[in-house]
Amino acid sequence: MTTRLRSVVDDLIINLAFYTRLPFPCGPIEGSELARASWAAPLAGAIVGLVGAVTYSLSWLGHLPPFPAAALAVAATLAITGCLHEDGLADVADGLGGTSRERKLEIMRDSRLGTYGASALALSIMLRIGALASLASPAPVALAFILAHTAGRAAIPAFMRLVPPARIDGLSAGAGRAPKASAAIAAALGILALIVGLPLRCALLALASAALMLFGLARLSIKHFGGQTGDVLGAVEQLVEIVVMLSAATGA
């Protein structure tokens, strides 16, 4: 294996070890190492999406209706990721209920789930299941799964680079700003996947909606938290994933 190919494989393994529960033989991942390898985050996302796609196809072959098949497929992606991004979305929703910046950040570090967080999780899961079930056939569902998880993680490095960390400690602060090249490659992979994989109208809808969502989340994060945190990055993935699945559903 060439040195360049080995580097690509190593970066992919770093992302899979961080973003999934798959048992890869690598030690603790430093924040700076993850930031450098973040260009491969969309590739790790595609693999997570593939797990959901296979689960849906098997459920379809077992003659399950689209809705329960989609529910099982989404559950499979939750299991393989350990609900990493869902946890971030819930913490951000709960944190917004705080009365001061310090209190908001404290709430986000609390492992307990509040009403806002539970509501955000319920909406996230329902929207994804509903969008996938509306596609019905395994092929478009598989494509939506893979594209959504690819684009969801493709947005994270750029967000890390554009929005400063809210804390001086934690994984996001330790990672710092993703290198410009890593953020650019990740974003390019996500955009290319959407343009190639979706009808042009759906791709443009997904890109425009994701851009608006991320702009709004960036403003919200700076105003309420003073910047981004690991939980905010989880919310980034969730919002983009949902937007892509809904955009795919519009072309059903």
Summarised one tens digit per residue, pLDDT across range 8-41 is 888 888 999 999 998 877 666 777 788 889 999 9
* Per-residue pLDDT, 74: 98
Summarised one tens digit per residue, pLDDT across range 217-246 is 999 999 999 999 999 999 999 999 999 999
In sequence order, what are the beta bridge partners of 228?
Answer: 165
* Per-residue pLDDT, 126: 98
Q: What is the token pair recorded at 49?
A: 């999406």
* Per-residue pLDDT, 187: 97
In sequence order, what are the beta bridge partners of 165?
Answer: 228
Q: Which of 3-7, 93-97, 119-123, 182-186 has the lowest mean pLDDT?
A: 3-7
147 touches 248 (CB < 8 A): yes
Residue 169 confidence (pLDDT) above 90: no
Scan for tokens 């390898």, then name that residue: 37
- CA–CA gap between residue 21 and residue 105 (Å, rounded): 26
Q: What is the token pair recorded at 249?
A: 């559903």
Summarised one tens digit per residue, pLDDT across range 185-222 is 999 999 999 999 999 999 999 999 999 999 999 999 99
* Per-residue pLDDT, 115: 94
Residue 176 confidence (pLDDT) above 80: no
* Per-residue pLDDT, 137: 95
Query: For residue 1, what pLDDT band results from cuts at 50, 70 and 90?
Result: low
Q: Which stretches within the chain are classed as H helix? A: 3-19, 31-36, 41-61, 66-81, 84-95, 101-109, 115-135, 138-162, 171-175, 180-197, 200-225, 230-250
Contacts 24+ apart (CB under 8 A), 139-142: 140/248, 140/252, 141/53, 141/56, 141/57, 141/70, 141/73, 142/50, 142/53, 142/54, 142/56, 142/57
Query: For residue 168, what pLDDT band results from cuts at 50, 70 and 90?
Result: confident
Helix 200-225 / helix 180-197 crossing angle, nearest 10 deg: 140
Residues 6+ apart with CB under 8 A from 158: 178, 183, 184, 186, 187
Summarised one tens digit per residue, pLDDT across range 68-109 is 999 999 999 999 999 999 999 999 999 998 888 999 999 999
